[in-house]
């Protein structure tokens, strides 16, 4: 990842995003021509299932990139399967019940490079958002801190352990768990003199999945806190909400 971002712009532009598609090199969360852009370069690819991969966006330089990503993707999927089993057990439902909702374990990855910014307090590295996923494994790749989460209305800085994953609960797990696990709003700030890099691996339902609280939880709770929605409709709402925090999620509440 470091070597990819270090290349001259021209080399990275070979992988530029195309209209209507998030894959490739560029900026995400662009909703209007008047907004300030995030102080970051992003690179997004689909990893799983393997037939969702578009190798046109997989850099051939550095030469080890593809093999490294393949291995990373496999291990991340394995870890997330374990975590989803633990979460299911924690909620007192069948251990496989959550995992079943992520059939084929769709997975994608956003690598983000935040250049240093002299006026760091005036720039936003990554705008506040929740992840539209089940679970996200986030790795802060070069030891520079910058992630913040919104807790009780206040931004709290996260001090990540070196080499450890930060596990973020996403919108879909909040819905499936009927609100037991809350999707965390987060953002990234930038540093005045140091660059920062992060890699987020997202685990989401398949495109044609319908998402709603697990029936066994609804039965126990006596009500479903969220209505049923197709995953692609959910994604459309996610982007239409223009990153207004958790609005897209709150609007699903019945
Ligand atoms: O850079 C970070 O720490 C946050 C990245 C993130 O939230 C994302 O890629 O969705
Ligand atoms: Fe995120």
Atom 8 of ligand 1, nearest CA residue: 200
Query: How much is the pLDDT for 166?
Result: 96
Ligand 1, from 110, 134, 137: best to mutate by most atoms within 8 Å of Cβ? 110
CA of 130 relative to ligand 1 center, distance in Å: 10
111 CB near ligand 1 (under 6 Å): no
Q: How far is the CA of 94 from the centre of ligand 1 (A)?
A: 31
Q: What is the pLDDT of residue 49?
A: 93
185 lines ligand 1 (CB under 6 A): no
The tokens of 112 are what?
A: 């983000």
Which has the closest alpha carbon to 134: 185, 187, 176, 77?
A: 176
Residue 74: per-residue pLDDT: 96
80 lines ligand 1 (CB under 6 A): no
Residues 6+ apart with CB under 8 A from 5: 12, 41, 43, 111, 113, 197
Q: What pLDDT score does 124 carry?
A: 85
- pLDDT at 98 exceeding the cut of 90: yes
What pLDDT shows up at residue 216? 97
Give the pLDDT confidence of 45-76 residue by residue, as tens digits. 999 999 999 999 998 888 899 999 999 999 99
Q: What is the pLDDT of residues 129-185, one digit of tens each?
A: 999 999 999 999 998 999 999 999 999 999 999 999 999 999 999 999 999 999 999
Domain count, the chain: 1
Model confidence pLDDT, tens digit, residues 200-214: 999 999 888 999 999
Phi, psi at residue 187, to the nearest 5°? -155, 170
The sign of the torsion formed by the CA atoms of 136, 2, 11, 77 equals negative
Report the separation in Å between the CA atom of 168 and the middle of ligand 2, taken as the mean of its atom positions: 8
Is 200's C-beta closer than 6 angstroms to any atom of ligand 1?
A: yes
Q: Is the peptide bond before 62 cis (omega within 30 degrees of 0)?
A: yes
Q: Which residues of 185-221 are buried (b: 16+ CB within 10 A; e: fewer)?
A: bbbbbbbeeebbbbbbbbbbbeeebebbbbeebeeee
Q: Is 130 in the pocket of ligand 1 (CB under 6 A)?
A: no
Among 149, 198, 201, 238, the mutation site with the greatest number of ligand 1 atoms within 8 A of its Cβ is 198
Does the CB atom of residue 38 touch ligand 1 within 6 A?
Answer: no
Q: Omega before 186 cis (within 30°)? A: no
Residue 198 CA, closest ligand 1 atom number = 1
As a whole number, mean pLDDT of residues 94-104 equals: 92
H helices present in the chain, as ranges? 2-6, 9-13, 65-90, 171-176, 215-221, 231-240, 247-250
H-run or E-run covering 169: strand 165-169
Q: How many CB atoms lie within 10 A of CB 81?
A: 16
Is the CB–ligand 1 distance for residue 186 below 6 Å? yes
CA 81 to CA 95: how far, in whole Å? 10
CA of residue 51 to ligand 1 center, whole Å: 25
- Round to whole Å and give the CA distance between 135 and 54: 23
CATH number of domain containing 187:
2.60.120.330
- Report whether pLDDT(30) > 70: no
Report the percent of the chain where pLDDT is more than 70.
95
- 215: containing domain: 2-250
Mean pLDDT of the chain: 91
């Amino acid at each position: 990842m470091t070597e990819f971002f270090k290349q001259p712009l021209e080399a990275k532009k070979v992988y530029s995003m195309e209209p209507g598609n998030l894959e490739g090199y560029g900026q995400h969360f662009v909703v209007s021509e008047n907004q300030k852009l995030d102080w970051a370069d992003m690179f997004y690819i689909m990893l799983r299932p393997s037939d969702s991969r578009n190798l046109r966006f997989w850099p051939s330089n550095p030469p080890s990139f593809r093999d490294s990503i393949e291995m990373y993707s496999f291990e991340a999927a394995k870890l997330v399967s374990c975590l989803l089993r633990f979460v299911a057990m924690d909620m007192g439902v069948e251990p496989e019940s959550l995992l079943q909702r992520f059939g084929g374990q769709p997975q994608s990855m956003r690598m983000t490079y935040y250049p240093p910014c002299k006026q760091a307090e005036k720039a936003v590295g990554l705008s506040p958002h929740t992840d539209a996923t089940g679970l996200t494994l986030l790795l802060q790749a070069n030891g520079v801190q910058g992630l913040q989460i919104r807790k009780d209305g206040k931004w709290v800085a996260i001090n990540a352990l070196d080499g450890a994953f930060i596990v973020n609960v996403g919108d879909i797990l909040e819905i499936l768990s009927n609100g037991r696990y809350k999707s965390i709003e987060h953002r990234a700030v930038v540093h005045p003199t140091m660059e920062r890099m992060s890699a987020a691996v997202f685990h989401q339902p398949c495109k044609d999945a319908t998402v709603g609280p697990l029936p066994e939880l609804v039965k126990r709770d006596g009500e479903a806190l969220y209505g049923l929605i197709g995953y692609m409709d959910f994604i459309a709402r996610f982007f239409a909400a223009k990153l207004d925090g958790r609005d897209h999620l709150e609007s699903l509440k019945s």
